[in-house]
Amino acid sequence: MLPDKEDCPCGAHMSPAGEEPSVSLFREYLRLKTVHPEPDYDAALRFLDKVALELGLPMKKIEVCPGKVVSIMTWQGTNPNLKSVLLNSHTDVVPVFQEHWKYDAFSAFKDPEGNIYGRGSQDMKCVTIQYIQAVRWLKASGQEFLRTVHLMFVPDEEVGGKDGMETFVRHPDFQKLNIGFALDEGLANPGNAFTVFYGERNPWWITIHCPGSPGHGSRFVENTAAEKLRLIINSFLGFREKEKHRLDTSQCFTLGDVTTVNMTMVKGGVAYNVIPAEMDVSFDLRIPPTVNLQEFEKVIQGWCKEAGDDVTYEFAQKHMNQNITSTQESDPWWSAFSQACREMDIKLEKEIFPAATDSRFIRAVGIPAIGFSPMNQTPILLHDHNEYLNEHVFLKGIDVYKKLIPALANVAVTPSDWGLAGRLHNHN
């Protein structure tokens, strides 16, 4: 819990209604309907403008695509020439099926146990507010850091990032941030430990096109699209079963260590009595960084050839970046992160992230990134019905960032900083 007004220079104290102001701010942010397919990004920008004004931090806005704005609050360090620390979060959330929710998904309802229900309560509006409130406390208590800290808020993470981080990492303004290390979102952990992600699986979204001989539904037509489709489905789902068996029978593997395959769309046909001339099937694959991606694509090519010489495929998404972030104690960034966690008696479980976040775009340009959401003793409910986070877990997360941010922002000069040789004027 944050200290009360007498002890806290930022004035974080119990409100007259009996709710901690950090919780009230969290609930206010949850009520903003930044939900796809039409996220209200303007509401998020107004909210963040207000916060930046309260924190006394300059806010820069970059429109990376029409209507898609990246916002950056900057807390300048005592040596702004050193590599900076990025606290990244996204403002959008996935759609809801309200009929399956106990409460309005955008009411931020808090039940008697302190569970706060709302889309984005875990993914990842909680982390956004935890960053903000930790920085608020640190600034108000008069702390200064060696390195500059950027709080970045990006759109469209939940729809692949093309109009958000994926585009912005190639923008000149991103280069000017001079980032040395990034924190991004992670996952809840139902146990006592906290999960930390140092890499991600590559998402491949693939559609297989199966042409065939058309004809009347009353005949045994040879070489039909459906026969080829069946062979393709059998190949993909057979591989899926093998990977699932690897996961189920290994005590060492987590979901991020195996390849998941899920059939997500089937298309074809015009009438019950007409054999179609083509059928398509689409799959969502998530491939760990230990897999040789070129060799794996050759396997897919083999499955297509076995189904028919005219069977082809195309990718809607094909990520090939397999960069991972060092978790060796010799690495200064990881050492600072892990040491701060040890001092808080936090047990870390290191994993490959099973899905995809903006961290993959950050790592792709050579910046180490860690995925971390300080939510233990919490069921994993991102994208699920009745997503919630308990207020005590949320408040504890603020305390975690109050330790992590200074630890990272005070990392001593590293070899990567010497890329600016001649500009460094303070090596302490």
Two tokens at 326?
């060092």
Reduced to 3 states (helix: H, G, I; strand: E, B; else coil), residue 116 is strand
Known catalytic residue: 157?
A: yes
Phi/psi at 183 (5° precision): -105, 135
Contact 283, 263 (CB under 8 A): yes
Nearest CA to 331 out of 175, 185, 147, 181 is that of 181
Give the span between the Cα atoms of 109 and 102, in whole angstroms: 10
Phi then psi for 55, rounded to 5 degrees?
-80, -15
284-293: buried (b, 16+ CB within 10 Å) or exposed (e) per residue?
bbbbbbeeeb
Out of 20, 123, 157, 185, the active site residue is 157
CB 255 within 8 A of CB 187: no
Paired tokens of 174 = 């991103």
Catalytic residue, candidates 20, 92, 200, 391: 92
Q: How many whole angstroms from its chain centre is CA 327? A: 19
Distance between CA atoms of residues 287 and 200, nearest Å: 8
Q: Do 280 and 268 form a contact (C-beta atoms < 8 A)?
A: yes
Q: Is 227 a catalytic residue?
A: no
**What residues are annotated to the active site?**
92, 157
